[in-house]
Amino acid sequence: MNIGLIGSGGREHTLCRKIYESKLSSNIYCFPGNAGTSKIAKNIEIDILNFKKLLKLIKFYKIKLVIVGPEEPLVKGLVNFLKRNNIKVFGPNKFAARLEGSKAFMKKLCQENNIPTAKFKICSNQKDVNKFLQKSKMPIVVKADGLAAGKGVTICKTKKKVIEISNQIFKGKFISSKKLVLEEFLEGEEASYFLIVDKNNFKFFGTAQDHKRVGQNDRGPNTGGMGAYSPAPIINKIIENKIINKIVKPTLFALKKRNNPYTGFLYVGLMIKNNEPYLIEYNVRMGDPECQVILPRLKTDIIKIILSSIKNNLKNIRIKWKKEKCMTIVLCSKGYPGRYKKGIEIKNLNKIKFDKNIFIFHAGTKFKNFKFFSNGGRVLNISSLGWNFLTIRKKIVSSINKLNWKAGFFRKDIGWRIIGH
Ligand code: AMP
Ligand code: GLY
């Protein structure tokens, strides 16, 4: 069957590779894709928020299944729109996507269902902020309510900073919402738990830990993610049961009660403290770069899994995983997450031969005149499977060194919590 894939990041190239390997796929169309996807699928340049144009192209190319990678089209209702037009599509509807699209919605849902999460207050004005400040200890986390492309969260060490950041949000710094959430700061270790969900059931879809800060030793500003590894050793069976019973089940039940059952990938962002999981955030999609370490471990045909979710038949599918571990390191443009140059050629990408266990997933890349160019902040994800994280990391680092892209940088300490620096 012809398949449409929405998005253009490392996550989408990884999904595209798995879709390409599926026995059930024929032509793949990426809207808009990147240089990596262009080698195995047809890229179609388009604004993915132009739903009407998307629909036309989906019909034109006789696409029978659409898979949505990023959050923005989901939060803006692409699934509802395509379903209304009788297109088979995988992902949550607009209401359920509010789990990611509105932090206020997500926190209220936690409160109403006793889901463990940081203490919080939803604020619409400075008076609300002052009330929370009076009774809380520093640091405090300020979160813009709506989508903010990863820039909506600030950890504040002083009250002055809380007031300054809050004011910016109330004044409309983020177009998506003028509300914000103030939260207590949670200590602990972060980990992510993934699920695939249909109207009646859900199945485990991997665990991972990522590194959000740009610099070595987790220093510097936040990014979309500089690297990740799977599985997350911190999530043992006992913690997993708590995640399912205290967080996942009450959430899915609450959405069902509101007649909007969740469907799609669900990313549960957690802080683990003293063997107790606390929900930090939900994302209504796969993570990026977490997808780049989870999918290489998947053995079962991804399209078979997605179709069984669409048919609400996940209960009857067995999803098999490789026992090997996986890590990815992100090669970024110098300057990211601040200003950086685009359009710089990555000369060696075609020339050097990588180990067969190295997967290069493209993110911000473009293919022009038979050459690869950078086209974003996060440029390439270099992933590898193996039995030992330290060996995997060494192999990835040596591959990046071989690539020798002078305009890029990367973190050499991915996985430091488990394997040191
Ligand atoms: P979010 O966009 O909600 O994932 O937040 C971005 C990052 O900020 C998370 O991955 C955490 O590292 C950090 N963070 C968010 N909320 C909290 C919290 N309540 N306590 C500690 N760290 C947090
Ligand atoms: N790596 C974090 C995210 O996908 O949101």
Of all residues in the chain, what percent carry a pLDDT higher than 90? 95
**C-alpha 211 to ligand 2 mean position (Å):** 10
Q: Which domains are present in the chain?
A: 3-91 (3.40.50.20), 119-184 (3.30.1490.20), 189-316 (3.30.470.20), 325-419 (3.90.600.10)
Mean pLDDT of 2-30: 98
**Order of strands, edge to edge, in the sheet holding 28-32?**
42-43, 28-32, 3-7, 65-68, 89-90
- Could you identify the atom of ligand 2 that is nearest to the CA of residue 287? 4
Tell me the per-residue pLDDT of 108-117, one tens digit each, with 9 for 90 and over. 999 999 999 9
Closest C-alpha among 2, 3, 95, 9 to residue 362: 9
Q: How far apart are alpha carbons 379 and 358 in whole angstroms?
A: 16
pLDDT for the residue numbered 356: 85
Of all ligands present, the nearest one to the C-alpha of 279 is 1
**C-alpha 352 to ligand 1 mean position (Å):** 39
**SS3 state at 324:** coil
CB 299, CB 322: distance < 8 Å: yes
Tell me the per-residue pLDDT of 97-106, one tens digit each, with 9 for 90 and over. 999 999 999 9
pLDDT for the residue numbered 421: 84
Of all ligands present, the nearest one to the C-alpha of 181 is 1
Residue 221 vs residues 35, 87, 216: alpha-carbon distances, Å: 28, 40, 11
Closest C-alpha among 342, 340, 333 to residue 375: 342
In this prediction, residue 355 has a pLDDT band, given cuts at 50, 70 and 90, of confident
Tell me the per-residue pLDDT of 308-343, one tens digit each, with 9 for 90 and over. 999 999 999 999 999 999 999 999 999 999 999 999
pLDDT at 163 over 90: yes
**SS3 state at 33:** coil
- Longest C-alpha distance within the chain, in Å? 61
At 219, give phi and psi (nearest 5°). -110, 160
pLDDT at 151 over 90: no
- Could you identify the atom of ligand 1 that is nearest to the CA of residue 152? 2
Residue ranges lining ligand 1, Cβ < 6 Å = 118, 141, 153, 183, 185-186, 190, 212, 269, 280-281
At 15, give phi and psi (nearest 5°). -60, -45
In this prediction, residue 222 has a pLDDT band, given cuts at 50, 70 and 90, of confident
In this prediction, residue 183 has a pLDDT band, given cuts at 50, 70 and 90, of very high
Residue type, 278: Y
Mean pLDDT of 38-47: 97
Q: How far apart are alpha carbons 149 and 101 in whole angstroms?
A: 11
Q: How far apart are alpha carbons 144 and 258 in whole angstroms?
A: 25
Q: How far apart are alpha carbons 300 and 62 in whole angstroms?
A: 25
Q: How far apart are alpha carbons 193 and 152 in whole angstroms?
A: 22
Mean pLDDT of 215-242: 95
Torsion sign over Cα 139, 144, 147, 150:
negative
Q: How many CB atoms lie within 10 A of CB 252?
A: 20
- Could you identify the atom of ligand 2 that is nearest to the CA of residue 286? 4
**C-alpha 134 to ligand 2 mean position (Å):** 32
| Pocket test residue of 207, 285, 290, 411 for ligand 2, highest count of atoms within 8 A of CB | 290
Q: How far apart are alpha carbons 207 and 191 in whole angstroms?
A: 7
Eight-state DSSP code of residue 244: I
What does the CA dihedral 180, 185, 189, 193 come to, rounded to 10 degrees?
A: -30
For residue 250, say if its preceding peptide bond is cis, omega within 30 degrees of 0: no
Q: Whose CA is nearest to atom 5 of ligand 2?
A: 287
**C-alpha 325 to ligand 1 mean position (Å):** 25
In this prediction, residue 211 has a pLDDT band, given cuts at 50, 70 and 90, of very high
pLDDT at 204 over 90: yes
Closest C-alpha among 293, 324, 314 to residue 391: 324
Q: How far apart are alpha carbons 116 and 113 in whole angstroms?
A: 9
pLDDT for the residue numbered 351: 83
Tell me the per-residue pLDDT of 255-302, one tens digit each, with 9 for 90 and over. 999 999 999 999 999 999 999 999 999 999 999 999 999 999 999 999
pLDDT for the residue numbered 353: 83
pLDDT for the residue numbered 41: 98
Q: How far apart are alpha carbons 326 and 304 in whole angstroms?
A: 23
- For the entire predicted model, the pTM comes to 0.96
Q: How many CB atoms lie within 10 A of CB 368?
A: 11
Of all ligands present, the nearest one to the C-alpha of 224 is 2
Q: Whose CA is nearest to atom 4 of ligand 1?
A: 281
pLDDT for the residue numbered 219: 93
| Pocket test residue of 267, 281, 282 for ligand 2, highest count of atoms within 8 A of CB | 267
Of all ligands present, the nearest one to the C-alpha of 7 is 2
Of all ligands present, the nearest one to the C-alpha of 151 is 1
Helix (H) or strand (E) holding 65: strand 65-68
CB 333, CB 350: distance < 8 Å: no
Mean pLDDT of 404-413: 97
Closest C-alpha among 327, 378, 377, 382 to residue 349: 382
pLDDT at 149 over 90: no
Strand partners, 342: none
Give 3-state DSSP helix, strand, coil % of the chain, rounded to 5: 35, 30, 40
> Degrees (nearest 5) of the Cα angle 218, 337, 266?
75
pLDDT at 95 over 90: yes
**C-alpha 301 to ligand 1 mean position (Å):** 33
Q: How many CB atoms lie within 10 A of CB 241?
A: 11
